[in-house]
Structure 1
Amino acid sequence: MTDVATGFRTAATSGLDVLLTHSPTLATVSGDHRFDDRLERLDPASLAAERADLDLALAALDAVDPAQLSADDAVDQEVLRVALLSRAFTLDELRPLEHDPLEPNPGTALYTLLARDFAPLGDRLRSAAARLRQVPASLAAARDALTVAPRVHLETAAGQFAGTRSLIRDELAAALEQEPALGAEVEPARSAALDALDEHVAWLRERLAATDGSADGDPRLGPDRFSRKLALSLDLGKDTAGDAADTVLALAEENLERVEAQIAEAAARLGGGVREVLDRLAAEGAVDDSTVVGMCREALAATTAFVQEERLMTVHDDPVEVIVMPELYRGVAVAYCDPPGPLEAAPLPTYFAVAPTPADWSAERSRSFYREYNAHMLHQLTIHEAAPGHVLQLASSRRFPGSTPVRACLWNGAFVEGWAVYAEELMSDRGYPGVGGPDGNAALRMQQLKLQLRMTINAILDIRVHTRGMTEQEALRLMVERGHQEEGEAVGKWRRALLTSAQLATYFVGYAAVRDLVADLRSARPGWDDRRVHDAVLAHGSPAPRHVRALLGV
């Protein structure tokens, strides 16, 4: 190994350590358990120390000449550099603690300790108690930092903090029943944390009721900050921030017209107009809270079997569990894939989490939800979240043998989401029958194109909301009329656009990049079958698509 390579690996390990040290929750989620007894420090002095450490890490990384590194190490250098710059941008300009009350929620820090058996339960409970003892001071610091918050953020935070309270009250109590000897150590911390959460939720609700304007913050980032955040989130490369939003918006609006024509043709083949056919499919595939999780389990078995039979990619035999989404994560997305941390030594399952309708929803709102997420759509959702989407892609990603842990820890959202959307199209093109029957694939194709519309509109929403002042009425009309979404789905997506700037665009940008990459690789390697092409694309971890393209030489 050359001195340059050794220097890079030292700088990379130290730089990643800066990110993990200052974000103990990220460390735990990643499978690094050195900081399981800590919470993020939210006071100004700790944030200033983190910012100084980021500068030192960037300087050490930039001192290494990428031209003297291997191709893989050069990619890791750029991946880490973008992650460090993104965190610096967050601290310097986004400053989420000042306006986002979702930021200090300790739910993930505690849930990860309880949900995964990476260590004996007693050890994890001791770590949980240490984190619980820090909750009162952490929430107090968050209240001190928050100035003017958007109403949608306050409403969502109140619900999710209540979910965290339920986690501590119920799931931690259940865990303690298995380790009663730890009650004297854990119970005082648990009681104090519950009191602190009650105080904090009451404070959030007071802010919502206040008439002083403190709940009237604008959730929109504005053109400049949004475009820079988007370029960093997507890892588009240097000198892309200035026109990133405009470029993506133009491509998305062009794609919307193309997919509208395709779904109209697909509906005509099923004997009707788009809305008529979608309504018919929704009625055929009735789902409710009692059946949704079981149907996703059945869809997981069917999609995985199809991938194996058609040799679409290598299927690794990693354990997967379909679970009910924890309450503290509800209110933003309908489902997610939660794999074990990439640094995790224990053999842990991947969770495919599905959210039933909240208990306080009306019967009509729940029916609307399940018209959107009918049986046909659940198969499409499972393709995206599991096979051949996130579950199988991330299983391949975990097997990348990098010289540093950088690429294992720092996934690129555009590549991960782009692959999952590409997987939807792949399964439709290869004839996956969905729920079966003579029109099974045709019905699945309708859902796949509907999700293409949704994905494309997601990008348009993301950009137009944060840079062009799109109103709620305009957004809902776009989603319902051109995206054929149920009203409940559209209302939820409007909230998500306000809550998660520069995230909704990752699906469209990533899909376009992965689709083009696969097409170019097929042209360059005409003798390769599906499995060989896809395994090659997935063999490099989960960096931005531009890095995968460079590593494959296409």
Structure 2
Amino acid sequence: MKKLTLCLAVSLALTGLSACQTQSSPEAMASNVSAAVKQDQNQAFSSFSQSFIDSLWQVAPTWALYNGFHQYDAKLLVPDATSRTTTLNFIQQQRAKMASFDFAALTAANLIDYRLIENVLGSMEWEIKRFKSWQWDPSSYNVAGGFAQIINEDFAPLEQRLRSVLGRLENVPAYYRAAQQNIDNPTLEHTELAIMQNQGAFSVLSDELLAKVNASGLNADEKALFKQRMDKAVAAIEGHIQFLKQLEQQLKQEGSRSFRIGEVLYEEKFAFDIQAGMSAKVLYEKALADKARVQGEMAKITDKLWGKYFQEPKPQDEKKAIRQLIDKLSARHVKREDFVDEVRAQIPELVKFVNQHELVTLDPKKPLVVRETPEYMRGFAGASISAPGPYEKGSRPL
């Protein structure tokens, strides 16, 4: 109805104009109508996309926090049925708004944004209704990351950030009660990871944090409330870890579901997460072809270097020869305890190489910072990167 009213209004305006300009052709009129409609649609979509982001951060405040949007830092969402219903209602409302837009009228940039929003909404709904990792993945429940982000990032005065932590602490007990109610038929691997990472939460909610609070400009009532809420939060985390440990023993004795999600779910997840324009299977086949090509190049290099490192004849099996050469070249490596320091030492060399070859533009005011992975994030990966959110222009990647 809105589109029809707009078209009629534009048509009437152009009809009046044509009475004064008799040389205007129907083709020109149609073109003008089309341009006006496109302008209206794109202006409306720009307003919608901004309102969508604003609304998204309200239903996903921790996601907002990780993106550097700090308006809702004090809000820790309790992951219960009510919050899932709220999210699903949000999805339905946003889709209803999107239905009013005409694809043909949107600019290429707005059409891309439309598809991105469409994908986000689809992914959120799929996660809740279909994938349901909120049931079988206990490692998805951990409050430490949000607290660490607020405490460690210098995006606002300390007292402002501590008040956000104070507000966020209030819902920690309810958060873990909801988590325990949600967990159903979990995998053993994710349960073990959850135990490990939740134990790391105590490195964030620590005596050091309380000392920082006591030395801050918070008033006496705020400091007392902070201590009270933090004690309850720590107790809730301890209780949750005990819950997970009992669950772990039960899963070891009785068996657990596989952590593998299967081809069908993987393809669905791949489509939402990667948006590669091809299926996971097609990409896998492409990767196999690339692997064969790269191994062919490695075989050539191995052939050239073999005599430099070995006295014995090169094995006929090219893959075995490649492996022997890699093992030889890897024999001299940094000790485990010196790994982080060695990475720190190599950063200046890597920066110099990138700058010399003009690979990417590096801002000298925002150098990379190397640190040990926080305990609440540790798992089985050797290293990772924590990039600042798009709202945090002054922050540096870790």
TM range (shorter): 0.7 to 0.9
Q: Aligned match of 1:68 in 85, 97, 105? A: 105
1:331 maps to 2:368: no
8 Å Cα contact 2:334/2:342 also seen in 1:
no
Q: What is the SS of the residue equivalent to 1:321?
A: coil
Distance (whole Å) between structure 1 residues aligned to residue 201 and residue 42 of structure 2: 44
Distance (whole Å) between structure 2 residues aligned to residue 298 and residue 211 of structure 1: 44
Q: 1:196 corresponds to which residue? A: 236
Distance (whole Å) between structure 2 residues aligned to residue 332 and residue 13 of structure 1: 38
Structure 2 counterpart of 1:14, which letter? S
Instruction: Please give the residue correspondences for 1:208-357 in structure 2 after superposition, counting only pairs within 5 Å.
Output: 208-210=248-250, 216-237=256-277, 244-271=279-306, 273-289=321-337, 291-319=338-366, 320-344=368-392, 347-351=394-398
Q: Give CA deviations for 1:23-49 in whole Å, capped at 9, x if unaligned.
A: 211101111111101112311122112
Q: 2:11 corresponds to which residue? A: none
1:96 maps to 2:136: no
Distance (whole Å) between structure 2 residues aligned to residue 143 and residue 215 of structure 1: 19
1:205 maps to 2:227: no
Q: 1:49 corresponds to which residue? A: 86
Q: 1:187 corresponds to which residue? A: 227
Structure 2 counterpart of 1:342, which letter? P
Instruction: Please give the residue correspondences for 1:87-486 in structure 2 after superposition, counting only pairs within 5 Å.
Output: 87-173=124-210, 175-176=212-213, 178-179=215-216, 181=218, 183-210=223-250, 216-237=256-277, 244-271=279-306, 273-289=321-337, 291-319=338-366, 320-344=368-392, 347-351=394-398
Distance (whole Å) between structure 2 residues aligned to residue 275 and residue 298 of structure 1: 28
Structure 2 counterpart of 1:250, which letter? E
- TM-score, normalised to structure 1, is 0.59
Distance (whole Å) between structure 2 residues aligned to residue 101 and residue 163 of structure 1: 15
Distance (whole Å) between structure 1 residues aligned to residue 330 and residue 68 of structure 2: 40
Q: Aligned match of 1:59 in 96, 109, 117? A: 96
8 Å Cα contact 2:78/2:174 also seen in 1:
no
Q: Give CA deviations for 1:421-473 in whole Å, capped at 9, x if unaligned.
A: xxxxxxxxxxxxxxxxxxxxxxxxxxxxxxxxxxxxxxxxxxxxxxxxxxxxx
Q: 1:8 corresponds to which residue? A: 45
- TM-score, normalised to structure 2, is 0.81
Distance (whole Å) between structure 1 residues aligned to residue 126 and residue 225 of structure 2: 39
Q: What is the SS of the residue equivalent to 2:371?
A: strand
Q: What is the SS of the residue equivalent to 2:370?
A: strand
Distance (whole Å) between structure 2 residues aligned to residue 111 and residue 82 of structure 1: 29
8 Å Cα contact 1:133/1:189 also seen in 2:
yes
Q: Give CA deviations for 1:282-329 in whole Å, capped at 9, x if unaligned.
A: 22233332x222222222211111222222333333412111111111
Q: 1:63 to 1:266 in 2, by over 3 A?
A: farther
Q: What is the SS of the residue equivalent to 2:271?
A: helix
Distance (whole Å) between structure 2 residues aligned to residue 344 and residue 52 of structure 1: 30
8 Å Cα contact 1:18/1:54 also seen in 2:
no
Q: 1:214 to 1:349 in 2, by over 3 A?
A: farther
8 Å Cα contact 2:77/2:171 also seen in 1:
no
Distance (whole Å) between structure 1 residues aligned to residue 365 and residue 117 of structure 2: 28
Distance (whole Å) between structure 1 residues aligned to residue 227 and residue 296 of structure 2: 60
8 Å Cα contact 1:23/1:39 also seen in 2:
no
Distance (whole Å) between structure 2 residues aligned to residue 19 and residue 200 of structure 1: 29
Distance (whole Å) between structure 1 residues aligned to residue 254 and residue 134 of structure 2: 14
Distance (whole Å) between structure 1 residues aligned to residue 374 and residue 75 of structure 2: 22
Structure 1 counterpart of 2:52, which letter? G
- Give unmatched runs, 5+ long, in structure 1: 352-554
Structure 1 counterpart of 2:361, which letter? T
8 Å Cα contact 2:169/2:230 also seen in 1:
yes
Alignment RMSD (CA, Å) = 2.2
Structure 1 counterpart of 2:369, which letter? E
Task: Please say which of residues 113-122 and 276-285 is displaced more in the overlay.
Answer: 276-285
Q: 1:28 corresponds to which residue? A: 65
What is the deviation of 1:215?
Answer: 6.0
Q: Give CA deviations for 1:47-68 in whole Å, capped at 9, x if unaligned.
A: 1121011121123224222332
Distance (whole Å) between structure 1 residues aligned to residue 387 and residue 274 of structure 2: 21
8 Å Cα contact 2:88/2:125 also seen in 1:
yes
Q: Give CA deviations for 1:128-171 in whole Å, capped at 9, x if unaligned.
A: 12111111001001101111100001000000000112221255
What is the deviation of 1:2?
Answer: 2.4
Q: What is the SS of the residue equivalent to 1:284?
A: coil
What is the deviation of 1:256?
Answer: 2.5
Distance (whole Å) between structure 1 residues aligned to residue 250 and residue 364 of structure 2: 53
What is the deviation of 1:91?
Answer: 0.9
Distance (whole Å) between structure 2 residues aligned to residue 333 and residue 211 of structure 1: 24
Instruction: Give the share of equivalent positions with the same residue, in percent.
Output: 26
Distance (whole Å) between structure 2 residues aligned to residue 96 and residue 41 of structure 1: 16
Q: What is the SS of the residue equivalent to 2:302?
A: helix
Q: Give CA deviations for 1:221-247 in whole Å, capped at 9, x if unaligned.
A: 22222111111111135xx6xxx1321
Distance (whole Å) between structure 1 residues aligned to residue 153 and residue 76 of structure 2: 18
Distance (whole Å) between structure 2 residues aligned to residue 158 and residue 129 of structure 1: 25
Distance (whole Å) between structure 1 residues aligned to residue 82 and residue 334 of structure 2: 54
Structure 1 counterpart of 2:303, which letter? A
- Give unmatched runs, 5+ long, in structure 2: 1-37, 311-320
Distance (whole Å) between structure 1 residues aligned to residue 300 and residue 132 of structure 2: 47
Q: 1:212 to 1:331 in 2, by over 3 A?
A: closer
8 Å Cα contact 2:199/2:241 also seen in 1:
yes
Q: Give CA deviations for 1:404-425 in whole Å, capped at 9, x if unaligned.
A: xxxxxxxxxxxxxxxxxxxxxx
Structure 1 counterpart of 2:92, which letter? D
Q: What is the SS of the residue equivalent to 2:166?
A: helix
Task: Please say which of residues 183-192 and 263-272 is displaced more in the overlay.
Answer: 263-272
Q: 1:481 corresponds to which residue? A: none
Distance (whole Å) between structure 2 residues aligned to residue 214 and residue 142 of structure 1: 22
State the number of aligned residues: 344
Q: 1:498 corresponds to which residue? A: none
